Amino acid sequence: MQIGMACDHGGFELKEELKAYLRSIGHEPIDMGTFNEDSVDYPDYGVLVAEKISRGDMGRGILICGTGIGMSIVANKFRGVRAALANDLFSARFCREHTDANILVIGGRIVGRELAKEIVRVWVETPFVGGRHQRRLEKIETIEKKNFKS
C-alpha cells in the first residue's frame, strides 16, 4: 500500500525511521517532506498529505510533528480526512476499527522509535469494522457537506 508521509522538523528523525520500517513490512512510503531538521511550519507539510487523501489520490497517510497536535488540526480541515493522533497502541487500533482513520498522526517528540513502529504496524494492519461505526462516519460526512463550501 502507498502511504503518504510528511513531517516538520520535530518529526524528521522519526519519519526517516518509519519510512524504512514501512518498506520492511511491504508498504510504499511516499515522502512529501520535510527533508532535514531545519525549522519549518507544520501546516506547509501537513497540507501536502491531507490534500492527497481528500482528493482520493492516496488512501492513507502518516503525519509527524513534535506533539502530533498541530498536524492533526491541519489535516482535519480537509473534507474526507479522518486524521487521528495515536501515541499509543490502543488509539492506533481503535482509530482504524471505529473511525476508519485515513491519516495517522504521531508526536515525534513524545513517542519512542520502537513504540512508533508498533503503532504504525497496528494502524496499517487493523481493518475498519463498519456496522454502527459506519453510521457515525456518515454523520460526519453530513457535517462536512454542510460546513465545507467545496
Task: Point out the residues that are catalytic.
Answer: 65, 98
Rounded to the nearest angstrom, the gap between the alpha carbon of residue 1 and the centroid of all alpha carbons in its chain is 14
- DSSP assignment of 59-91, as one string? SEEEEEESSSHHHHHHHTTSTT--EEE-SSHHH
Q: Is the bond preceding residue 67 a cis peptide, omega within 30 degrees?
A: no
Q: What is the CA radius of gyration of the chain?
A: 14
Nearest to 4 by CA among 66, 69, 71, 95: 71
The half-sphere exposure of 11 on its side-chain side, counting CA atoms within 13 A, is 32
